[in-house]
Amino acid sequence: MAPVGVLYGVVAVLSKYVLDPDQAIMQALAFSLLVYFFMFVFSSAALVAKGKLDRALFSASNIKIGLAISAASVLGYIFIVLAFIWSPNPSFPSVVGSLSPVWIMVYHHIIGVKDDASPIAGLVMIVASILLVMATV
């Protein structure tokens, strides 16, 4: 899993320094199309190679759910690429995304859902995020 994390870091930095902020929306769309095209090609090749391509995969309910998940995923990826381009530091969008467990923990606390998450771990994440922002300002 470590190479995947490294690649995400490289993509964040490349998005920030290679893509032009003046043409960010068109470039984010093109970049996302390119990324998702290659994901489709390699995922399809892996399914065929492993022999897991069967008719059940193409049922109406699977296609409907798959299209909804794909649309949400593509929109999310376009927004994260735009965030990488427009943020002063390419690590900021990743930091906000990494704080998702903290936001969920806070939300659960507000609505009264029992959550076994560690408040100490959440506090460490928040402090690290603040230090990152302060170090780059």
Per the structure, the count of domains in the chain is: 2
Q: Report d(CA 130, CA 105) in Å as an integer.
A: 18
Domain hosting 124: range is: 99-137
Q: Using the 3D structure, point to which of 68, 88, 108 is the last residue of a domain.
A: 88
Task: State whether 63 and 130 are in the same domain.
Answer: no
> 10 Å Cβ neighbour count for 98?
13
Burial 32-48 (b: 16+ CB within 10 A, else e): beeeeeeeeeeeeeeee
Task: State whether 72 and 113 are in the same domain.
Answer: no
Task: State whether 65 and 109 are in the same domain.
Answer: no
Phi-psi region of 117 (alpha: psi -120 to 50; beta: other; left: phi over 0): beta
Residue 118 lies in a domain: yes
Q: Report d(CA 45, CA 118) in Å as an integer.
A: 41
Per-residue pLDDT of the chain (137 residues; tens, 9 = 90+): 557 667 777 777 777 777 888 888 888 888 888 888 988 888 888 888 988 878 877 889 989 998 999 899 889 888 888 888 888 887 788 788 778 888 888 888 899 888 787 778 878 888 888 887 777 76
Torsion of CA 124, 128, 131, 133, to 10 degrees: -130
Task: State whether 63 and 108 are in the same domain.
Answer: no
Task: State whether 19 and 75 are in the same domain.
Answer: yes
Task: State whether 6 and 56 are in the same domain.
Answer: yes
Side chain identity, residue 41 = V
Which pLDDT value is given to residue 137? 66
Considering only CA atoms, which of 87, 73, 65, 85 is closest in space to residue 35? Answer: 73
Task: State whether 13 and 68 are in the same domain.
Answer: yes
**Structure tokens that stand for 45 in this block:** 């090749």
Task: State whether 30 and 81 are in the same domain.
Answer: yes
Residue 11 lies in a domain: yes
Q: Report d(CA 39, CA 79) in Å as an integer.
A: 18
- pTM of whole model > 0.85? no
Which pLDDT value is given to residue 65? 93
